[in-house]
Structure 1
Amino acid sequence: MQDVSYDGTIKGTVAKGFEPVAAEFERNFTQRRDVGAAFAAVHKGRKVVDLWGGMAAPDVPWKEDTLQVIYSGTKGLMASCMLILIERGLIDFDAPVAKYWPEFAANGKADVLIRHVVSHRAGLPGILTPLTLDDIPNYEKLEKLLAAQALSTDPDAYHSYHALTIGWLCGAIIRRVDGRTLGRFFAEEVAGPLKLDAWIGLPESEEHRVGKMELDPDSDWSDDPPENPTHRSIWNNPLLFPTYEDLAWNSRAYHASEIGGAGGIATARAVARYYCCMARGGELDGVRILKPETIAAGLKLRSKFHDPFIDEAMAYSTVFAVQTEDFRFGPAPDAFGHAGAGGSVHGGWPSTGTGFSYVMNQMRMDPEDLRTRHVLTTLHKVIAGA
């Protein structure tokens, strides 16, 4: 690995031959207005890119150990937790959720299966009971609301992104099957063995390292409540990004809570390492998290739809997102992973044994966000030519 520094704009290291990736990452700051970010890639078990730059918060430079909220990137971490329990025979894809969580059968949900939950087809994309931002960290309250809620009568609810509810549903299943919370399970079964600087529920001792999220002032974040109640329940109950001022997602309460759909906090280095493990069949540095056949089954396509509320093509396996025609996870056709609100992208390319992660602190409302697209295209070219 060789050190990288572009007039102080970015820092880090790259392996020989990966210099074009650093140059492209640097353009995110000089040409694409990035504020603070990190990008890392691990190829065939070897770290080949480890870069960071910009500001983690006002007057605070992004450092080598800066942590950042990865929003829905958390779902990709949660996927391995579900797969571990499936591999151990503790959860069955085709079993009713109520087998493990009896209260869930209320109001017509007895036939909702595990495979529906993990692929955004459970018919519970949002909570209908009015919520406040203070409710989001309270997973026990939200699990009870979901258990009591009736299945939606809106056909669109069965092919729409379960933005936050998938985290509470999977977390409830994990706790009832294993006894541990999602955050503790991930820490003990995945992050600990792989030595990942990643959490779903951040210890207070690490709080000082977390960068501050901000909304891009050039993006339109105005959001009038939609008329459709399903749409409103997903994205406006409560409105998750209500102000350009300090976000709830920057608070200690949110960082400490185990928000499985959106609360993970990590370095890009850690998430890239995680996805390299998944892309290599569940093993890295002699540590096996999952069997290759479990990963293969876990990446099987389980749902594909065009979300009617956010107008986006989506495809899912077991919690993991898989590649669609917009190639969000780079050029590799077999790519999988999960993106996060505002621009973070994390994933793996099994065909090359590569894991990658881009984390940032300026959120953009831009489906064509170029910050990751150019970097991932360059990374793929370098690996293909290696």
Structure 2
Amino acid sequence: MINGWTAAGFEGVAEAFTRNFTERGELGAAFAAYRNGELVVDLWGGTADRDTGRAWDRDAVQLMFSGTKGLVAACVLLLVQRGELSLGDPLGRYWPAFRAGETTIAEVLSHQARLPWVEAGYADLLDHDVMAAHLAAQAPAADPRAAFMYHAITWGWLIDELIRRVDGRTAAQFFADEFATPLDLEVWIGLPDELHWRATTMVAPDGVLVDEPQTDPLLRLNRNPLWVPGAEKIWNSPEYRSAGLAAVGGFATARGVARFYSSLLADGVLTPQTVASGRRELRRGIEPTWGSEIAYGAGFELHTASANLGHPADSFGHPGAGGSRHGAWPTRGIAFSYLMNEVRAAPDNRPFDLLTALENAG
């Protein structure tokens, strides 16, 4: 059953959302959008927990995976805005033990740090201090392809450590204090224990999580420990929900994330000048793991031909693994978020049809 509402002119978005259930077998999902600071789409429906049959209600919160990176990027930009660091600063200035000390903050934010995996392994995946120490001691990858390679999980440990060293707070606490509380957002990096009951249960159909042997040493090293068969047990565990991984540990309602991106289109916590600096392209190229184009500013993904964030050329934000999409279209004053609890491999038309309907709305 589909719940929620749309403003006049946005009915096509509700129709697309409904088709995801009736034609594409959507399990549970939510979609929200703001236009010029006003909520114009707030939809949810389906099943939050397939095993118990619990419905996805207005209060359901969903794991964002890499959608979290957009939240944390804003935290770094706020530190820049306050004059506490510059994007061109070497990370080693704030983290003396960091072996690749000349790597700049901008390079880390834009996936150019040459540290896309952890050579010491992921046995302590949920322990920030251990994983950050591993990365501090690790030499940057020598393979030239790693010079612009998506840092799926390591990005979070690197940036979280930077925020801790500059500000004293974790990325999770910084976001809560500076964005979530002032803006009244239902968004958390690490879900508080007392809210675990609101979390949906994530599922992955057979064949989506594949751990195929790799002959290419670069791809073998870059194996994502959260994207292998059985990983659902980790995603849905209380420990993971609470851990607050800065790259992949955000939980939210779609309404909350859309409101966050809407705030970036106004003169709010971040000034328009600061947001513009975060959207400025730092690197564009072919990601060697996927063989497709990626483009990044200071932590925000930017528009490419794949239109992951919609067709507007000024789109920015960050998608999440398995299908979620979060971002904004500045010239149109639109901010949006799509969250779902069944992860799928590309091509996945669920988010694309929703964003196309949003583009055609109003």
| Global fold match (TM > 0.5) | yes
Q: What is the alpha-carbon distance in structure 1 between the residues aligned to residue 215 and residue 240 of structure 2?
A: 29
Question: Partner of 1:6 in structure 2?
Answer: none
Question: Partner of 2:183 in structure 1?
Answer: 194
1:57 to 43, 49, 52: 49
| Runs of 5+ unmatched residues, structure 1 | 1-8
Q: Does 1:330 align with 2:310?
A: yes
Question: Partner of 1:292 in structure 2?
Answer: 272
1:31 to 23, 26, 37: 23
Answer whether contact 1:119 1:316 (CA < 8 A) is retained: yes
**What aligned pairs does 1:228-239 form with structure 2 within 5 A after superposition?**
228-236=216-224, 239=225
State the 1:233 CA deviation: 3.2
Question: Partner of 1:372 in structure 2?
Answer: 351
Q: What is the alpha-carbon distance in structure 1 between the residues aligned to residue 228 and residue 222 of structure 2?
A: 14
State the 1:244 CA deviation: 5.1
Q: CA RMSD in A?
A: 1.3
**What aligned pairs does 1:1-386 form with structure 2 within 5 A after superposition?**
9-58=1-50, 59-104=53-98, 106=99, 109-132=100-123, 135-217=124-206, 219-236=207-224, 239-243=225-229, 246-278=232-264, 280-281=265-266, 283=267, 288-366=268-346, 368-383=347-362
Letter in 1 for 2:344: R
Structure 1 residue runs of 4 or more that deviate by more than 4 Å after TM superposition: none
3-state DSSP of counterpart to 2:162:
helix
Question: Partner of 1:5 in structure 2?
Answer: none
Answer whether contact 1:79 1:318 (CA < 8 A) is retained: yes
Letter in 2 for 1:67: V
Residues 209, 229 of structure 1: alpha-carbon distance in 2 compared, 3 angstrom cutoff: same
Answer whether contact 2:303 2:311 (CA < 8 A) is retained: no
Q: What is the alpha-carbon distance in structure 2 between the residues aligned to residue 162 and residue 379 of structure 1?
A: 30
3-state DSSP of counterpart to 1:103:
coil
Q: What is the alpha-carbon distance in structure 1 between the residues aligned to residue 16 and residue 117 of structure 2?
A: 38
Answer whether contact 2:204 2:232 (CA < 8 A) is retained: no
Answer whether contact 1:126 1:230 (CA < 8 A) is retained: no
Q: What is the alpha-carbon distance in structure 2 between the residues aligned to residue 374 and residue 242 of structure 1?
A: 27
Answer whether contact 1:241 1:247 (CA < 8 A) is retained: no
Q: What is the alpha-carbon distance in structure 1 between the residues aligned to residue 271 and residue 84 of structure 2?
A: 15
> Percent identity among equivalent residues?
42
Letter in 1 for 2:316: F
Relative to the length of structure 2, the TM-score reads: 0.97
Letter in 1 for 2:355: L
Residues 246, 173 of structure 1: alpha-carbon distance in 2 compared, 3 angstrom cutoff: closer
Answer whether contact 1:125 1:230 (CA < 8 A) is retained: no
Residues 220, 361 of structure 1: alpha-carbon distance in 2 compared, 3 angstrom cutoff: closer
Q: What is the alpha-carbon distance in structure 2 between the residues aligned to residue 196 and residue 333 of structure 1?
A: 27
3-state DSSP of counterpart to 2:318:
strand
| Runs of 5+ unmatched residues, structure 2 | none
Q: What is the alpha-carbon distance in structure 1 between the residues aligned to residue 176 and residue 300 of structure 2?
A: 19
Q: What is the alpha-carbon distance in structure 1 between the residues aligned to residue 307 and residue 232 of structure 2?
A: 32
Relative to the length of structure 1, the TM-score reads: 0.91
